[in-house]
Amino acid sequence: MTEPLDSSKTEGLRKLLRLTNVRIVFQIIFFGLFVLSVWASWTSRIGGYPVSRFLEIDPLVSISTALSTGYIYRYLGWSLAIIVVTFLFGRVFCNWICPFGTLHQFVGWLFNIHPATKRIEQNQYHHLQYLKYGILVIFLMMAALGALQIGLLDPIVLMYRGFTVFVAPAADMLIDSATSFSSKAGMEPAFAASLKFAPGTASRVFVGSFWVGAFFLALIILNLWKPRFFCRFLCPLGALLGVISRYSLFRINRNVNRCTDCNLCLTRCEGASDPQGKVRVSECFSCMNCLDDCPEDALQFTMLGLDQNQVVSKPDLSRRRLLFAGLSGLFMFPLMRNNGRATDENFSPDMIRPPGSVAELEFLEKCIKCDQCINVCPTNVLQPATFKEGGFEGLWTPVMNFNIRHCQLKCALCSEVCPTGAIRKISVAEKLGKGEYGEQGPVRLGTAFINASRCLPWANQIPCVVCEEVCPVSPKAIQTIDEEVKDVYGNMVVLNKPFIVPDLCIGCGICQSECPVQDQPAVYVTAVGESRSQHRKLLLKFRTSEQV
């Protein structure tokens, strides 16, 4: 006969099996998986792993891209699983799975040093929590019109972009510092170096990283004012799941006969969903904190015996607010598109997209600004676009900056990780125009040009053949005019003056990145002649007699 457990052991086991403890385990696992997916995106590690799965299970990514393109791309159907879970258990994604939500909760817990009365006040429902539903409507309206901007505030996209451009480079810098210190101390630095997000590189440079990092940190710092500020007030994915969760089978149920109105359930309420009164189902994160904090066991997470008088099922969004949000999204679309940088008539010469990118207007209908392609790029040539390249609509979408590096010829990793098809999946053979793709030729990213006023042979009578030597195509797209001249010192020198053969140039950018003229390279690449558009050819425009 087994010995019964004593009361202390029973109490310890009960605490261990609390739903909040189970939730914390899930949060740690999913946050670890997210960090692992970013870490595994490096070229030497990727090996076919589903490193974009968090983006592919994001219902907002799936629904918004379906609105903008008319179909569900590749693996985005995985998001149906999250929708089903939400129909069953409410917004469990926000507090059990979402890595950005976990980060917010951790920061809130770390700095939550207020007394219980202050915490209860902070966790009461705030009328401005309706803002996230308005933001959702604006983004969905814009997506339906063809301007996909959900990546600005989608939490999963925010995490990938923040880690790619800000967290991962900062972590690598710290690891490099630790490695340098350990080497000086006579310790083996190999293990520390293997932990880097981008091993084998000295550092990665990202133009505009200050603003990406500042935006990322600002959203986190706001937790010091209101816990889970982003999740409660701004998150469009949370708003979408909140709309769905009003139909959830399981929810928090309050037994009014047991409740003593002590309000202790508000002490750690993550969603400010008013469990002490009429529970706002669309705001509840299913964090289960209130169940543990209630001293009378008056709260349950159940689908049985639900008191419909103790619940507010609908989001707090009036028809007037809904109409205003819809009109805002309607007018935001032409406001951005009339900027004109995406059109073929006035395209930005600096908007050089990764190989495999679809035509620009279609690209903007698909790109969610997650920067996965930027993270996986081995040469660091891919950068988040600033306002300079494509205005607000193209902000933080991937562009190539050949002043930093060039596009590696035998690399198509960016097309492997794109979750929405903005960069279609291509092989190295297609990129190079080899084998079965020989007839269509290589993928052209743009065309190189020579600035003769800065070129050493043309402008300064200094011999230089760097751009011709590094040009990787055969026959070479950069050729030279050999001219013997007398320099200012009276010496006869042979100058190999370079010129571009546009039909051969693929716009890989190695000539620009290797040009010895450092500040403004004498050879530069623009988007003209890119193979993804038939309207951006390098042609002179003549007016016919009918047009005169």
Q: Of 312, 332, 366, which one is at a domain's C-terminal end?
A: 312
Is the per-residue pLDDT at 519 higher than 50? yes
Torsion, Cα 82 83 85 91, to 10 degrees, reads 90
Q: How far apart are CA 315 and CA 246, in angstroms?
A: 8
Question: Which of the 8 DSSP states describes residue 423?
Answer: B
Shared domain check, 491 and 473: yes
Q: Which domain holds residue 487?
A: 444-534
Shared domain check, 428 and 303: no
Report yes or no on 518 lying in a domain.
Answer: yes
CATH code at position 476:
3.30.70.20
Stretch 272-295: mean pLDDT, rounded?
91
Q: How far apart are CA 98 and CA 336, in angstroms?
A: 30
Phi, psi of 323, rounded to the nearest 5 degrees: -65, -40
Q: For 377-411, what is the HEC assignment? A: CCCCCEEECCHHHHCCCCCCCEEECCCCCCCCCCC
Q: Of 378, 411, 443, which one is at a domain's C-terminal end?
A: 443
Report yes or no on 328 lying in a domain.
Answer: no
Over residues 323-374, the pLDDT tens digits come to 999 999 999 988 887 766 667 677 888 999 999 999 999 999 999 999 999 9
pLDDT tier, 313 (very low <50, low <70, confident <90, very high otherwise): confident
Q: Could you tell me what percent of the chain has a pLDDT over 70?
A: 92
Over residues 139-171, the pLDDT tens digits come to 999 999 989 999 999 999 999 999 999 999 999
What 3-state class would DSSP assign to 522? coil
Shared domain check, 426 and 391: yes
Tokens of 421: 């098809």
pLDDT at position 340, please? 62
Distance of CA 416 to the CA centre of its chain: 15
Strand partners, 496: 482
Shared domain check, 530 and 486: yes
Shared domain check, 529 and 430: no
Report yes or no on 386 lying in a domain.
Answer: yes
Report yes or no on 255 lying in a domain.
Answer: yes
Tokens of 37: 């997916």
Shared domain check, 241 and 165: yes
Shared domain check, 150 and 229: yes
Shared domain check, 502 and 421: no
pLDDT at position 548, please? 40
Nearest residue to 442 via CA among 371, 354, 507: 507
Q: How far apart are CA 447 and CA 527, in angstroms?
A: 7
Kindly tell me the sign of the dihedral angle through the C-alpha atoms of 361, 367, 373, 374.
positive
Over residues 23-33, the pLDDT tens digits come to 999 999 999 99
Question: Which of the 8 DSSP states describes residue 167?
Answer: I
Shared domain check, 462 and 358: no
